[in-house]
Amino acid sequence: MKHGRRGVWLVVVVALSLVLAACTTPPIQVPGAARAKEWTYANTGIPAWWWYTLLDLKTVHMRAKGTGKSIAIVDTGVLPGQQDIATILPGVATCGSDANDIADRNGHGTQLAGIALGKDPGPDFLSIDPLPVITRGVAPAASLVPIRIDCGLVTTDALVNGVKAAIGKKPDIILIALGGYPPDVDASLSALVSKSGKDILFVVASVWDGYNYPFPGWTRPDPAKGKVDNVLIVAAMTLIGQDEVPYNDRQVGDIWAPGRDIETAGLDTIPKPDPKAPSVQAQFLMQGTSAASAIVAGCAALVKQKAGYAGAGLKAILVKTTTTKPGLGSIGRLDCSTPVPP
């Protein structure tokens, strides 16, 4: 369908899934942060690419674009030949019967990839008037490693083997943005994160509040016991006017990042005005902690390119350089400029 606010084709899809529903949650009261109600902001005005402007990515991209860095996305795979992603490295599927089938049939993995490392802007080759701006990826020169763990349901084996496979690809960042986790993965993921994955930053979309629902052990390795604190949990925020406020009730993590109306690439295609013209995926507006975590993963790639931090060090610099806002309590909101030196 058409969306009028940009004068370009736009597709907005709302998907409900038990394992990929990172934008809604039952109401939770969290001390120290403003109370958010689900979908409070659905009808309030918000500028296109507000998050890109908020993080001053135009300036940051003059310093770094993620060149030489890679992000593994443990999710639903990626659309083959996705024109908004510059470099897709060989991936693996740990669900289904074909380990080489990383094709995304859900859309969630492709959407995450478009935010984290889509072209800025993309696409850049079509003869459609006006030329649609589909993505402005945070780290457009970074490489994607697609790890498909979801073939309709995320099982313990698929998730654990997917994280193991991702670590084996030796990426700089691993992004995990599920809406829920099998109950018996804690010990396995703890070992993977703090041992074989100790030099990797794990960026994880928040599905916990840290209060009524404590963070599981694998997201909180204990440095006192020799484990590496290299998991960064991301909560989602948005704007009401000039005020920064929580997007939903999943308010507690290590860092806030934009999580409302985040423009990215989807699976649906724009109708072609000319049958001979190449196909192009329509824009998708992603919501919630999934979108926020993809933004943080992309920023982490920029920081690593310029400053060389890894694992726990990369988490520490991202948290240290956050900016605090009254409506967001004591947790800082991502600053993607300060930790990326000129």
Q: Is 5 among the domain residues?
A: no
Judge whether 321 lies within some domain: yes
Distances (CA, A) of 326 to 20, 80, 95, 235, 258: 30, 43, 43, 16, 16
In the block, tokens 């089938």 appear at 101
Would residue 34 count as lying in a domain?
A: no
Nearest to 203 by CA among 121, 296, 110, 98: 296
Q: For residue 291, give its domain range.
A: 45-328
Using an 8 Å Cβ cutoff, are 119 and 135 in contact?
yes
Give the Å distances, CA to CA, from 233 to 45, 58, 269. Answer: 28, 25, 32
Number of H helices, E strands in the chain: 7, 13
What length is written for the chain?
A: 342
Would 270 be classed as within a structural domain? yes
| d(C-alpha 67, C-alpha 340), whole Å | 13
CA distance 244 to 95: 39
Note the pLDDT of residue 43: 62
Lowest mean pLDDT among 15-24, 143-152, 184-193: 15-24
- Residue 37 in domain: no
Into how many domains does the chain fold? 1
Average pLDDT over the chain, rounded to whole? 85
Q: Out of 23-37, 165-179, 326-340, pick the least confident.
A: 23-37
Q: Higher model confidence: residue 52 or residue 249?
A: 52
Are residues 292 and 234 in contact, defined by beta-carbon separation less than 8 angstroms? yes
| Most confident of the following: 112-126, 185-199, 216-230, 245-259 | 185-199
d(CA 73, CA 176): 6
Place of tokens 């979908």: 39
Percent of the chain with pLDDT over 90: 66
Q: Flag whether 116 is in a domain.
A: yes
Whole-number Å distance between alpha carbons of 301 and 308:
10
Indicate the Cα dihedral angle 69, 74, 77, 81, nearest 10°: 0
Look at residues 73, 69, 71, 70 and name the one whose alpha carbon lies nearest to residue 148: 73
> With 70 as the cut, is the pLDDT of residue 29 above it?
no
252 inside domain:
yes
Please report the pLDDT score of residue 68 as a whole number: 98
Q: Quick one: angle between helices 108-117 and 289-307, nearest 10? A: 40
CA 213 – CA 256 distance, rounded (Å): 18
Q: What is the pLDDT of residue 210?
A: 79
Quote the pLDDT of residue 83: 86
Which CATH number do you get for residue 310? 3.40.50.200
pLDDT band for 180, please (50, 70, 90 cuts). confident
Q: How confident is the model at residue 307 (pLDDT cuts 50, 70, 90)?
A: very high
Domain membership of residue 98 (yes or no) is yes
What's the rounded Cα separation, in Å, for the pair 298 and 278?
Answer: 28
- Report residue 212's pLDDT band, with 50, 70 and 90 as the boundaries: confident
Q: What is the mean pLDDT of residues 302-330?
A: 95
Residue 23: pLDDT above 60?
no
